[in-house]
Amino acid sequence: MKTTRLFETTLLMVLTCANFCACSSDDEGLTTVNVHIVDGDKKLFTDTKLMYKITTDNKAEVVGTNDTNGDVGSLHIPENIVWINSTYKITSIDSYAFHDCQSLTAVTIPSSVTSIGISTFSGCNNLTSINISNGVTSIGESAFSDCNNLTSINIPNSVTSIGEEAFYSCRNLTSITLPDHIKKLEHGILKDCSNLTSVTIPNSVTDIGYLVFYGCDRLTSITIPNSVTSIGEDILGNGYYINSITIGSSLTSLNGFFDFDFPSLTSITVDKDNPNYCSVDGVLFNKDKTTLLRMPENRSGKYTIPSGVTTLGGHTFCMSILTSVNIPNSVTQIENSTFWGCTNLTSINIPNNVTRIENSTFCGCVNLAFINIPNNVTRIGDYSFNECTALTTVTIPGSVTSIGECAFIHCIHLTSVTIPSSVTSIGNELFYDCIALNHLYIKATTPPAVTLSYYEESTCLGGEDSAILHVPAGCKDIYSKTFPWSKYKNIVEE
């Protein structure tokens, strides 16, 4: 019996060795390789470079490399493996199969493979070439993330799904061809591909997830095709080199698309059949042109808002380089941060029908030297004139009842402000860092209530040491006893 078993074992080793020596996966263009068994219980096999696992009676997957010398180089994955007289078709590459394989430089994936697993090639920093044959239908999450030397990739049209962050942080990727049958761009699939200069979204795509192109700083244009019905938040982030944006006919919600900076943007185009949006001369409006939604930041010169517009949306002129904006009397609402960072604006007239100056409306307008606040305004919002460093005087009309916190913070050239008796509520640190403030005129006989800082004893208004606080006759005593007005060192009656 022992002699028989020894003979069988010896014969098996001879056959295995013969098969193993016949060919291997690093022979270019080979479709079938012979393997030898590594672990029968786990159904693991190997050739000179690759490890395989039997998944069904006639199928197998690549599970990794058996190279221990750090010299994987270029791999050609075979279509089939043979052990003794059995042939197994390679249909998948397992998750993490080549994760952090620093010596892998190129890989060819045959048409027999239908799926590439999660993080299969992630962190392969020296991988420069990927050839995916037509046959692959799915690419897993983070499959090629952090492949920093990968410069281009062509994804075949057989692929119908690509997982989240599949190409995340492929920082040298300059071009990619997306397949024609994919339905959704999962979140972050091209995030932080900082050298990607162009990408075409196929007409099959209906949904774009969040952060898809976030950090793709070299993109110069983006076209959202007519097939797309929804987009996630922050799909672009700050598109520094984006000069044109095209919005298709089916996108009905922008979902914060324009909440970021596009300093090179000169034109926005909307398909004429879009039910919610339109563009006029490259400027974005709602469909009936009553709300101006976005002015391209890199449009220079002067701009006259069309008559009939009633609302200027949040961030509408954010970071614009325009020198002048003419607002028609039809405008009744100016939303938060509308003119945030308009560093070239020197003056602006707010129409009489506007009743509120919202938060951060003119924040960072460093050259704004004149602003008229109409008599119908009842509230001046938080940070509304923050860092308007060219302002020297401000007249607040008698219609205003409340002024938000930090409304004039960092207005370093502001010398004089008059607050009318109608104002009953003032936010904390109203004039913080207004180092030139000499005169503060308060017309109310009852000190306006001040919203204190989190730290009760902190500076709550600004200018207490240098500015003269002017109060109505007979009111010095009450102001001197009311915090934080009492912090002013020089209070005089008018």
Concatenating the DSSP letter of every residue in 104-125 gives EEEEEE-TT--EE-TTSSTT-T
Q: Which is nearest to 432 in space by CA: 382, 370, 470, 476? A: 382
Residue 136 has pLDDT above 90, yes or no: yes
126: its two tokens: 């020296």
d(CA 457, CA 178) in angstroms, rounded, equals 59
d(CA 309, CA 284) in angstroms, rounded, equals 12
Predicted pLDDT at 86 = 87
Provide the 3-class DSSP secondary structure of residue 75: strand
Q: What is the DSSP letter of 305?
A: P
- Taken in order 194, 198, 201, 202, the sign of the CA dihedral is negative
Residue 8 has pLDDT above 80, yes or no: no
Average pLDDT, the chain: 89
Q: What is the mean pLDDT of residues 185-205?
A: 94
Residue 404 has pLDDT above 80, yes or no: yes
Task: Find out whether 484 and 465 touch, Cβ atoms under 8 Å.
Answer: no
Angle at 378 between CA 374 and CA 379, to 5 degrees: 105
Name the helix (H) or strand (E) containing 476.
helix 476-480
Predicted pLDDT at 256 = 80
Residue 60 has pLDDT above 90, yes or no: yes
Predicted pLDDT at 231 = 94
Least confident range of 140-144, 265-269, 428-432: 428-432
Q: What is the mean pLDDT of residues 177-204?
A: 94
Residue showing tokens 């761009």: 185
CA 106 to chain CA centroid, Å, is 31
- Taken in order 56, 60, 62, 68, the sign of the CA dihedral is positive
Q: What is the mean pLDDT of residues 221-233?
A: 94
Residue 189 has pLDDT above 50, yes or no: yes
Residue 311 has pLDDT above 70, yes or no: yes
- The pair phi, psi for residue 20, each rounded to 5°, is -60, -40
- The pair phi, psi for residue 227, each rounded to 5°, is -75, -25
Q: What is the mean pLDDT of residues 295-322?
A: 96
Q: What is the mean pLDDT of residues 313-341?
A: 95
Residue 477 has pLDDT above 70, yes or no: yes
Binning pLDDT at 50, 70 and 90, where does residue 480 land? very high
d(CA 339, CA 346) in angstroms, rounded, equals 12
Predicted pLDDT at 279 = 97
d(CA 480, CA 491) in angstroms, rounded, equals 8
d(CA 292, CA 285) in angstroms, rounded, equals 5
Residue 417 has pLDDT above 60, yes or no: yes
Binning pLDDT at 50, 70 and 90, where does residue 437 land? very high
Q: What is the mean pLDDT of residues 43-72?
A: 86
Binning pLDDT at 50, 70 and 90, where does residue 13 land? very low
238: its two tokens: 């700050």
Residue 68 has pLDDT above 70, yes or no: no
Provide the 3-class DSSP secondary structure of residue 7: helix
Binning pLDDT at 50, 70 and 90, where does residue 307 land? very high
Predicted pLDDT at 4 = 38
